Structure 1
Amino acid sequence: MQDMWAVLLIALGGLLFGGTIASWKMNKVLAAALGLCTVLAVASGVLRLGYFG
């Protein structure tokens, strides 16, 4: 079950990254916020996998 949450968090990071790329030209503040959320989601997914923790 732990691994499933990690994979879902990394997948969420991918979706957020796509939103960051899509919104970069229109609204840079929103894109920066999405980028921060992307980093947090991917980092928490990788840490939940336990490779670096």
Structure 2
Amino acid sequence: MTWEPIVLLGLAGFLAGGSFSLWKTSRIASIVLGVVTVAAAVGGVLWAIR
């Protein structure tokens, strides 16, 4: 296993926290950040099982 999937999963966690904290102030930015979070998490998982 390489380090790239671990970095992507860590990034997804960081982005999820940002999305959660933005929810009360800017819902659109929070949703966009949530979509990027899901993309990073899926990419990390798919890269890890490849």
- Asked if TM exceeds 0.5, the reply is yes
Q: Does 1:10 align with 2:6?
A: no
* TM-score, length basis structure 1: 0.89
Moved over 3 A (4+): none
Question: Is the Cα–Cα contact under 8 Å of residues 13 and 39 in structure 1 kept in the other structure?
Answer: yes
% identical aligned pairs: 32
Q: Which amino acid letter does the alignment assign opposite residue 16 of structure 2?
A: F
Question: Is the Cα–Cα contact under 8 Å of residues 20 and 32 in structure 1 kept in the other structure?
Answer: yes
2: CA distance between counterparts of 1:10 and 1:3?
A: 13
The Cα shift of 1:3 comes to 2.5
Root-mean-square deviation (CA, aligned residues, Å) is 1.1
